[in-house]
């Protein structure tokens, strides 16, 4: 299968790449930091999959479109994981001017533009599965969430609309809403690693959802740490 993963150099994106790399697929990966992305590809080189990767700033529409067209040279996508995202804490009334644009461009528009560019061939073949990595912040406002939470609410709305639109075309859409996951953003925070989920927990659920029969679709995956949100 051809599997596209954005934000694949670390965190959840890297965990997705690892689990799908073990199953004889073609992985098409992107991230903004080329060195980190190259390290991920190197770690996966002994897997059963073929790994291709490209440095992309997903906040820029032209780079997203170029990446999509590059992916299409390998054939019709079977799985798209719209994972790329960024987070800056803040409150609507006091956050730095321009943050809302940055959050929307990276957390929403990147998935919107990439998916639109890739969909025609998937719709024509009546197959494929799109995973949109949302967040618990997509359904639950929280202190210091600000524009990040707003962008994730929008991402869930995008995902829900896409699900309805693509039902007749045999293309599945799954919204993934994880709570706190131990990635680089949590390192040095002082939060006990055992208090929050592991990135591979989310990757296992996404992989499992991708293995169902064509007539079954997991619409939402909601995951939280055992002790609840922080």
The CA R_g of the chain, rounded to the nearest whole Å, is: 17
In b/e form, how buried is each residue of 3-25, taking b as 16+ CB within 10 angstroms?
Answer: bbbbbbbbbbbbbbbbbbbeeeb
More confident residue, 162 or 192: 162
Does residue 184 surpass a pLDDT of 80? Answer: no
As a whole number of angstroms, the distance between CA 226 and CA 206 comes to 18
Strand partners, 30: 6, 54
Q: In degrees rounded to 5, what are phi and psi of residue 178?
A: -85, 145
First and final C-alpha spacing in the chain: 37
CA distances 171 to 6, 125, 137, 163, 197, Å, are: 19, 9, 26, 8, 29
Give me the mean pLDDT over the 198-216 stretch: 97
153's enclosing H/E stretch is helix 146-166
pTM, to two decimals: 0.96
Residues 6+ apart with CB under 8 A from 79: 1, 2, 3, 4, 20, 128, 129, 130, 131, 210
For residue range 48-81, list pLDDT tens digits in order.
Answer: 999 999 999 999 999 999 999 999 999 999 999 9
Residue 123 confidence class, pLDDT cut points 50, 70, 90: very high
- Residue 32 is predicted with a pLDDT of 95
- Residue 66 is predicted with a pLDDT of 98
State both tokens at 36.
């980190």
Residue 87 confidence class, pLDDT cut points 50, 70, 90: confident
Structural domains of the chain, ranges and CATH numbers in brackets: 2-223 (3.40.50.720)
């Amino acid at each position: 299968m051809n599997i596209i993963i954005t934000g694949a150099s670390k965190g959840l994106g890297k965990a997705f790449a690892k689990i799908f790399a073990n199953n004889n697929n073609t992985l098409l990966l992107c991230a903004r930091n080329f060195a980190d992305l190259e390290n991920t590809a190197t770690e996966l080189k002994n897997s059963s999959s073929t790994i291709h990767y490209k440095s992309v700033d997903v906040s820029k529409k032209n780079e997203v479109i170029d990446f999509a067209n590059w992916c299409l040279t390998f054939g019709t996508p079977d799985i798209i994981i719209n994972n790329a995202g960024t987070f800056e804490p803040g409150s609507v009334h006091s956050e730095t001017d321009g943050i809302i644009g940055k959050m929307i461009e990276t957390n929403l528009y990147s998935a919107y533009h990439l998916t639109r560019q890739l969909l025609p061939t998937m719709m024509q073949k009546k197959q494929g599965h799109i995973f949109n990595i949302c967040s618990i912040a997509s359904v639950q406002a929280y202190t210091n969430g600000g524009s990040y939470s707003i962008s994730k609410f929008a991402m869930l709305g995008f995902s829900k609309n896409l699900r309805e639109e693509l039902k007749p075309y045999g293309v599945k859409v799954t919204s993934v809403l994880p709570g706190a996951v131990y990635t680089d953003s949590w390192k040095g925070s002082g939060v006990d690693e055992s208090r929050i989920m592991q990135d591979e927990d989310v990757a296992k659920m996404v992989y499992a959802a991708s293995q169902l029969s064509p007539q079954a679709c997991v619409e939402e995956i909601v995951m939280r740490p055992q002790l609840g949100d922080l």
